[in-house]
Amino acid sequence: MKIYYIANARMPNEKAHGIQMAKMCEAFIQAGADLTLVVPSRGSGGLQQFYGLACEIPLRRLPVWNLQFLGPIGYRLTALQFALGSLLYVWSRALSGERFVVYTIDMDSFSFALLAWVPCPSCAEMHSTKRSNFLVRSFFKRTRIIATNRLIGDGLAQTFGLSPERVRIEPNGVDESVLQNTMSSQEARTMLALSPDKPFALYAGRFYEWKGLEILTDAAASSPLPIYLVGGTREEYERVTKKSGALLHFAGARPVGEMPLWFAAADVLLLLGTAKNEYSYRYTSPMKIFEYLAASRPTVASRTPATISIMQENTAFWYEPDNVRSLVHAIHEAYTSPEAEAKIRAGYALATAHTWRRRAERILAFCASIGENTSTP
């Protein structure tokens, strides 16, 4: 199957969406797809070395004038250039006689919408719900949807009147190499130049206001384990949370390839979520869910609708969102409870069903069915 994966994103980049796109492109190619990633000319360099991929990703960079220095208006104008350019590019490939499927992703609120008028089957990966307007309605009338959690899929189906067969739920995935970890916590801590005999709980991820990171400041005062954070500095944490990071331990941003070592080094892994932000509470689909479960370490997770829609009850120790006492209790249970081994096994089994490769294979089958049942306009 020939796929043009169209994304209004600077590539490569160090953010989570860049990693997700790179891993999915790699998985599509490994599953047999003939894929080209179409992105704006704002980025430079190949993806294989940057992300440590098994293969290089064919890239087509469409020229845009980068006007983002103008603020929100400049961002929209830059995105509009890419939206028009990608539409023209797809039409040129179709007019040359190629047969293919367009795959796109919602990197913003509108640049994908012009692809409603592509002369070929299309599939779109949605990471949030969308407001209805003429362009977006036209897009959803034509395309099929990959939603990264059940609540997103249900919301899109309700807003745009989508039938169940046009929506597939596929959370983000995990690299197969993480499943092969057999390293002990002590060995991993030694490799990271940490004290091998000092256990800790770990939060991994970039520091954003919507994640509810501030709970860690209060939890650290009574947590049975010291809390380490990988993804930012103390200064960044305090700027985002408006709370002190004095009782927390910060490792800063670390290379993608080093993260499995950190997961292995930890004794408990922390998956946060807050009811104070709708995206965090209902719509997020963190890649680290399956990375945590694949690492064979106890996971403590916030009982948000978003997390519950992806994980199973028996795969984690749960705490109530924004409840410090509940979080501290869950950390204690994860570290001491005899139930931890059973939860680890259940989590690992769930992770094996959600590798990037398996995700790509399911999506390719979905796209193939679109090609069989969708006529050219």
pLDDT digits (tens, 9 = 90+) for 339-351: 999 999 999 999 9
- In this model, does residue 199 exceed pLDDT 90? yes
- In this model, does residue 365 exceed pLDDT 60? yes
Q: Which long-range contacts (CB under 8 A, 24 or more apart) does 219-224 make?
A: 219/324, 219/327, 219/328, 219/331, 220/247, 220/248, 221/247, 222/324, 222/328, 223/328, 223/331, 224/328, 224/331, 224/332, 224/335, 224/336
| Phi, then psi, of 29 in degrees rounded to 5 | -65, -45
Left (φ > 0), alpha (ψ -120 to 50) or beta: where does 320 sit? beta
- In this model, does residue 152 exceed pLDDT 50? yes
**Rounded to an integer, what distance in angstroms lies between the CA atom of residue 3 and that of residue 32?**
11
pLDDT at site 256? 83
Q: Which pLDDT tens digit goes with each residue over 238-260?
A: 999 999 999 999 999 998 889 99
pLDDT at site 376? 38
- In this model, does residue 176 exceed pLDDT 90? no
Left (φ > 0), alpha (ψ -120 to 50) or beta: where does 342 sit? alpha
337 three-state secondary structure: coil
* pTM passes above 0.85: yes
pLDDT band at residue 373 using 50, 70 and 90 as cut-offs: very low
pLDDT band at residue 171 using 50, 70 and 90 as cut-offs: very high
**Rounded to an integer, what distance in angstroms lies between the CA atom of residue 243 and that of residue 337?**
31
Sequence-ordered alpha helix ranges (H) in 47-181: 48-51, 72-95, 134-142, 150-160
* Beta carbons within 8 Å of 65's beta carbon, 6+ residues apart: 78, 81
Q: Which pLDDT tens digit goes with each residue over 97-123?
A: 999 999 999 988 888 999 989 999 999
**Percentage of the chain surpassing pLDDT 70?**
98
pLDDT band at residue 374 using 50, 70 and 90 as cut-offs: very low
Distance from the Cα of residue 334 to its chain's centroid = 25
- Domains located in the chain, CATH noted: 2-172+355-373 (3.40.50.2000), 176-352 (3.40.50.2000)
- In this model, does residue 370 exceed pLDDT 80? no
Please give the average per-residue pLDDT across 271-298, as a whole number.
95
pLDDT at site 375? 39
- Tracing tokens 């089958």 back to the chain, one arrives at 365
Nearest one of 203, 130, 184 to 160, comparing CA atoms? 130
**Rounded to an integer, what distance in angstroms lies between the CA atom of residue 193 and that of residue 290?**
26
